[in-house]
Amino acid sequence: MQPETLFRAIFAHRGASAYAPENTMAAFRSALSSRADGIELDVHLSADHQIVVIHDDDVSRTTNGQGKVHALTLEELRRLDAGQGEVIPTLLDVLELIGDQMFLNIELKRFSGSAAYLPEKVTQLVNELDLNSKVIYSSFDPMLLIRTRRSDPQAKCGLLLLEDGFGTAVRLLVSTFIKPWSLHPHYSSVSHKYLQRARLRGQAVITYTVNQPEEMQRLFNLGLQGIITDDPVQAIEVRNTL
């Protein structure tokens, strides 16, 4: 897939997290029915090396439990309430729901004790389900992307960037080894010039986390490849007015 394949695409952040508890099946079903173009979700490994969909490395913010994700088995994680009676899904649950109906941005989190096999396990699962053409792997950690690419040479890798200048420079430098398919900057970094430079390098730009309609409009007008938003319904409304 070429970067130009995506244009003003809308990715539902942690599912449609404005409407349902983040990173739950309810949020992914809501994203699907909103007709967003894709979903973004975050993955960690459980103590028994299952790929689970949760943002933090600790369960306490988003569930009624306590403890590190990598210290709990899938069975223990499944017993927790992730909000409104939802449970923590596995990546397989989500891939089976979404299939090839939407793009999937899988963010590899790095604060997991079992992070050692995260990229390898995720690429293996995606390829087993033949969903490679729909998936963009992203991470703030360029080393995880390097390992993703090593595990699957066809993988589309997106480098996540913070606002801060030094960290961004280091990440860009390390990632030159893999030439990321896309850059995923904070939306405040994205300008006409930013997009021009990315276009010259043949890279897509997918920016996070855009929740104000004015910002959505500004970014869509710049003509970037995609935005990541908690509220895909609002983003679609804004895009329809352009």
Contacted entry of ligand G3P, Mg ion, none for residue 184, CB cut-off 5 to 8 Å set by kind: ligand G3P
If the CB atoms of residues 76 and 140 are measured against Mg ion, the closer one turns out to be 140
Which helix (H) or strand (E) covers residue 242, if one does? Answer: none
Catalytic residue among 13, 44, 70, 184: 13
Residues binding ligand G3P: number (CB under 6 A): 11
Catalytic residue among 44, 49, 55, 184: 55
DSSP one-letter string for 64-112: S--SBGGGS-HHHHHTS--STT--PPBHHHHHHHHTTSSEEEEEEPS--
Residues 194-213 that bind ligand G3P (CB under 6 A): 208-209
Active site residue 186: no
If the CB atoms of residues 109 and 147 are measured against Mg ion, the closer one turns out to be 109
> Contact with Mg ion (CB under 5 A): which of 22, 37, 58, 107?
107
**How big is the CA angle at 84 (ends 82 and 90), to the nearest 5 degrees?**
35
Residue 27 structure tokens: 């949020």
DSSP one-letter string for 6-25: -SSEEEEETTTTTTS-TTSH
If the CB atoms of residues 48 and 171 are measured against ligand G3P, the closer one turns out to be 171
Q: Is 160 in the site for ligand G3P (CB under 6 A)?
A: yes
Torsion angle of the four alpha carbons 22, 27, 32, 33, in this order, in degrees rounded to the nearest 10: -130
Q: Is 228 in the site for ligand G3P (CB under 6 A)?
A: yes
Residue 73 structure tokens: 């088995």
Active site residue 13: yes
Binding site for ligand G3P (CB under 6 A): 13, 40, 42, 55, 107, 138, 160, 184, 208-209, 228
